[in-house]
Structure 1
Amino acid sequence: MEQKRSMFLLQYALEMKRSEIQRLEMLAIREEARLQRAEKFLEKDASLFDEFLRENDRSSVQAMRLAEKETKAKMEKIVEIRHLTAQIMNIKSEISKIEDTLQHYKIYKDFLYKLSPKEWLEEQEKKSLALRKVKESVETAKDSSTPTLLGDRGSGTKSKTALLWKEVQNLKKPSKLMQGRLGQVLSSTLSLPQVGYQSQPSLHSEMDTRLSNSPVLPQDNTDSDGEEQALYFTEPQQLLDEFMKLEEQNLSLIQNTQEMEETLDDLNTTLKNTQIRMDREINQMNQWITTMLLSIEKEEELSAELQLKARVFHFGEYKGDQQDKLLESLNHKVLDVYRNCVGKQQEANLGTVQMLTVVEHLLDELLENLEHVPPARIEQAEKAKERERRIRIREEKVREQKQLQEERLQRARARAQAEIKKKRGRRLVCRSQPPIIRVKDESDHTLMDKDREEMLFFFT
């Protein structure tokens, strides 16, 4: 039983292993089939990816070619645009130059019209009115013309209007060559340097006055037919003659202005000189007034002193001997002054009053002559006299100081040589001194000092 059981178990184990082996083999076969299918799918995908890459390469190459073509076309267009812009700029610059020249020509034309005389301008205005009337008649004839009137009558009216139109055109047409020459002359005359800077304003003012006074012809730059209008100046010499006339007028005005300036300068110099002279005379007169006022004050003081002396003399304080001495001293002083002023040769038996009158006459003559002396010399003489007077006063002060010093030394010596007095008794206490009553004593010394001051004042 045990053997059967073991055999059964062995057979069962073998069968189980066989079934497991079969199952595993089936799984392996399935996996191999699945792997084969996956490999096929991978090969298909690889082939598709290769085709995609090839297509992508082809499309990228085509795109690069298209981009190159587009860039070339773009560059060509840019170059064309640049050429066109350059041409446009050149054309614009030419247009601006032509416009500038046109403006210059218009200015020249207006200038010539303004320079032209009034009679010619009136004639041109009449011609322009006649031309307008002819144009209006032609336009009305064209508007009112009908097919029935386009026969013989129409031809007759047309012939008449054509004749009128030709006459007006012949009146209008100027020579183009002459216009070019006039433009050259205008440009050359306007660009030439002027005679002088001062002549330019007067020339321009003359031209402005003439241009403002001249009536301007109402006109357009060109007529409706495109024809140019006539000009008064047919030759350049006419313009040159006009400019020469204006230049002569300008030169005459410049000469007149220069003469007026010279006269003004002369008047200014004379006025300044007279002003300076008047100021100098006024200053001299003021100085003389001040000196005269000072002398008047001193004379008044002297007269007051003399009045006081006369009163004192009448009261009997002066004696006859003193009066005689004073008169003799006065006579001697007047005689000294007379000798210094007149000289010893003309000395005669003259009294004091007569000598004083002679001295006064001499003083009057000297003052009259002093007016004719230049002020510079007077100032120099005054400065010299002032210097001498200061030196004299300084010397007198030094002399007085020396005298005072000598007096002090003498007093000090006398004080030193005096006997010493011993103080006895009770010592005095310092108390306030009563006020000292000072009496003015006019001695002979003070009178001599006053006489000296008068001599210094009048005769130095």
Structure 2
Amino acid sequence: RQFLALPIDKKTTRIARMTTELGEQDEKIKERKNLKQIKSGTVLPKQTSIGHELMKAMRKQGERSGRLSLMEKRAEFSRLDKANKRKEKEVDRLENTLEREELQLEKLLRENEKKSVEAKIFFERKTKSKQKKEAEIKKLTAEIGAPFISRSERIKLQEVMIDYNKYKDLLFELSPPEWQEAQKAKALKVQSDGDPEDKQVKGTEESDEPELFFTDPQQILDLMTDLTEKSLFLIQNTTTVEETAKELRKSLETTKQSRTVALAAFEQQTSSFVPPLAQKDAMWDALGEKVGEVYRHCVDGQITNLNTLEKLAHIENCMALLLQGLDNLPEEKLTMMKMIMDSEQRSRYVSVSRRGSRNLLKDHAKWQWDYSITPRVLCIAGFFSPLQYIVSKRDNKNVCC
């Protein structure tokens, strides 16, 4: 940092600094040797020759380092000179631009001053001419004596007339509808009757003195207070209606959300119900076919267009008749049938025991119990239901109904 802070003439390279230090040390050594030689009076030729060679080498190195440092300094000086020249050129260019801008500003200011002076003179002339014209117009109007209205006054009067017409229309609208209808009828009568000259005269009279429903300004104030109260009431009603509408919208949104949730749940339920419903439909179809077969075997063998419920009703009627017939049977026939059943059971038991298997005996006995002639006997005896009997006989293909 100290080296960087130094000026350019005092900055040197490391080699130059080392050479200067070595030169100073050599000079000190030579001075000491010279003092010793003077004191001793003897000088060694070898030592002096070596010292001279070292001094020459050190001088050469110092010269080289000095040349290098000079070259570096010259390069730095040339670079700095170029940079200074560039900056001077930029400064000159900026000064020239500033001078030009100052000249342009001065020109603009002079032109503006001239224009302002000219405008002031022109305005003063115009004002003077206008004042003269106004004075002449006033003199002429005073000399003529006729009522003369200027253009600005006409415009003001027209604006006042427009405002008064608005107020008139407002008062006409505030008046009761019956009075409005009467005024309209009068206007129609005036238009239908009379000459155009009379109409013009009447119109001028009406325009001078218009008819009004309100005779006292207090009536208008009272009506305005009533209207303000009504408007406030309507505003309150609108606020309440808006609040209720917001609540209804919220409730509708909630109901829509609940409906969407319910519909999703219902769709899930229906999707879960579809396979069992199909199974139930298949089961009901199979039961309907079985009922039709039972109906054909027991009631009527012809094809009919009856429903399953109607077929079941016919079958129940037939079964009721059969049960009544069974109740009317005598006890002797029942005992005889029981004996026949016992004998058949014994014969089966004997045939199965010969085979040597009781398990087969049970299964075979059950099977023979359902699909042999014994159900007929049991049905008559009361140990077997008539429907099972009919089904067993249908399977056995021996209908006895």
Q: TM-score, normalised on structure 2?
A: 0.26
Q: Where is the helix percentage greater, Structure 1 or Structure 2?
A: 2
The higher relative CO (CA closer than 8 Å, separation ≥ 6) is in 1
Q: TM-score, normalised on structure 1?
A: 0.23
